A and B are shown apart, each in its own frame.
Chain A
C-alpha cells in the first residue's frame, strides 16, 4: 500500500490556493490499469482511467480534518469514510485520487493518491475507510 501527495498539491498549498479543510475536496476511484504518479497535475490527466461501472459516483469528502502530529513529525489529512455506492461487477479498482473540485477537470488539482489492493467490484457496496494516519500525510 502506498500513499503520496502530488507535487502540484505542495505547490498550491504553499501558494495558499488549496485549503483542505474548507475547499470542496472530492475522491474518485481509478482502475488497476492506471499508473498515476506524483507528477500528476489536474484531474483531466487521470479521469480516463476512472471506474465506470454502474452504481459508481465520485464522492465529496465530509468532516475533513488536518492533524498536526508533532511527535511523529507529520501532518495527516483525513475525513469520513468514502462510500462509492453499490458497484456492479466488471471492473477492478486499485487507486483513490483526491482533488479540489473547481467544476472544470482541467483546473481541478489532484492532491494525493492512495494505492490499495486491486479489488474487483462484486455487485455490493464499495467503501474506503482512512486509517488512523489519514488518507495521506505530509512528513517534515
Chain B
C-alpha cells in the first residue's frame, strides 16, 4: 500500500516537473520593435537629376559621405564658399563639414558606393 502511494507520488512529481519545463520552454511574446521612419521628400526632382543622395564609403579609410552625381552643370553656394561643377561631377555631403563639389574622376577613384 505504501509502495503504491510512493509510486503515485513519484509519478505526480515527474508530471509536475515536465509541466514546469514545458511552461519554461514557451518563449515570451517578442515585443514589436517599430521600424525607423525615413522619408525622402522635398522639391520635385527635375527629369535630368538622379533620384537622391546615396551612401558612399572611402576605399581606404571607410569614411562615409552622402553624394549625388549631377548630370548637368551646377553651382553650389554654402557658408564655405562657392564652387562650380560640370556635368558628371558629384555634390558631396560629408558627415562633418559643408557640402562641396568633387570632380567625377577624383570622387570615383576614392569612394565606392555602399551596398
Contacts and interface: CB of A to CB of B under 8 A. Distances in A.
Interface of A: 1-3, 21-22, 63-72, 74, 76-78, 80, 96, 114, 116-117, 119, 121-137
Interface of B: 33-46, 48-53, 68, 70, 72-79, 87, 91, 93, 97-99
Contacts of A119: 37, 39
B36 A71 contact: no
B43 A67 contact: no
5 contacts: A21-B78, A65-B76, A70-B72, A116-B39, A131-B45
Q: Is the interface of A mostly helix, strand, loop or mixed?
A: strand
Contacts of A127: 36-39
B37 A124 contact: yes
Contacts of B76: 65-68
Contacts of B98: 63, 65
Contacts of A133: 42-46, 49
Nearest to B41: A116
For the complex of A and B, list the 10 residue pairs with the smallest distance between their C-beta atoms, beginning with the closest.
Answer: A71-B72, A124-B34, A137-B43, A116-B41, A68-B75, A122-B34, A66-B77, A72-B46, A133-B43, A130-B42
Contacts of A69: 46, 70, 72, 74
